[in-house]
Amino acid sequence: MVKKVLVLSVLALFVVAGCGKADKYADAKSLIGDMTKLYEGFIGGVEKAGSGKDLAAAINKFADGMKPLAVKAKDLEKKNPELKFKDPKNPPKELEAEFKKFEDLTKKFMSQTVMEKMMKYATDPEVQKAQKDMTEKLKDL
């Protein structure tokens, strides 16, 4: 029994060690996936917003989710200088598909539909507060 546990432990160690080396950019892929989900949620929230309160909630959720992701992106850029999350013109080949999907999503983020909804509720006090809070939360990133 002890022998089986030892063999399984050694095998697990090799699997974990092997997985870590298999994908240098696993953390970056995960981060881009999380950012994509956050942007999709924001876009959906804006498109569905029927009031300033709804839009403010979408903005607040986006800002709260973006702050830790932006910190993680900075850390990954330090670890992998070839990564440029703010200006991904030449991403590593291993990440081209992820960056392309995210780039396409950022275009939707700035779409006419989203901008019209933002303008529609721009004077709402809750929206103004949410935008101010978002600027404050993300200013150092």
* Residue 49 · residue 58 · CB < 8 Å: yes
* Residue 104 · residue 37 · CB < 8 Å: no
**Angle CA 116–34–61, to nearest 5:** 50
> For residue 96, is it within any domain?
yes
What is the span of the domain harbouring residue 71?
23-138
pTM of this prediction? 0.77
The tens digit of pLDDT for each residue in 20-65 reads: 445 889 999 999 999 999 999 999 999 999 999 999 999 999 999 9
> For residue 18, is it within any domain?
no
Number of domains composing the chain: 1
> For residue 129, is it within any domain?
yes
> For residue 3, is it within any domain?
no
The tens digit of pLDDT for each residue in 56-97 reads: 999 999 999 999 999 999 999 999 888 888 777 888 899 999
